[in-house]
Amino acid sequence: MSCHGVRSAAPLTGFAPAWKPRLAQGADVLLKHAREGFNGMPAKGLCSDCTDDDLHGLITFMSGTNP
């Protein structure tokens, strides 16, 4: 998860203020961005065998919520 660590443009894992505007977009948008990639994030975060359920679980873990 180095992409979502300190000194990154990506939201920090578990840092609610950074995730709030992203979560406001809705679960479908977050999943689409995770699946297809968005801005500097590669599709599926380079996890080519991750399923949508896996990605949803990662979003939940990283955002600290259940979108």
The answer to whether residue 67 sits within a structural domain is no
The answer to whether residue 19 sits within a structural domain is yes
pTM of the model: 0.85
pLDDT digits (tens, 9 = 90+) for 26-66: 999 999 999 999 998 999 999 999 999 999 999 999 999 87
What is the count of structural domains for the chain?
1
What CATH number is given to the structural domain containing 39?
A: 1.10.760.10
Written as six digits, the tokens of 21 are 């505007």
38-59 b/e (C-beta count within 10 Å ≥ 16 → b): eeebeebbeeeebeeeebbebb
| Beta-carbon contacts of residue 22 (< 8 Å; ≥ 6 apart) | 11, 30, 63
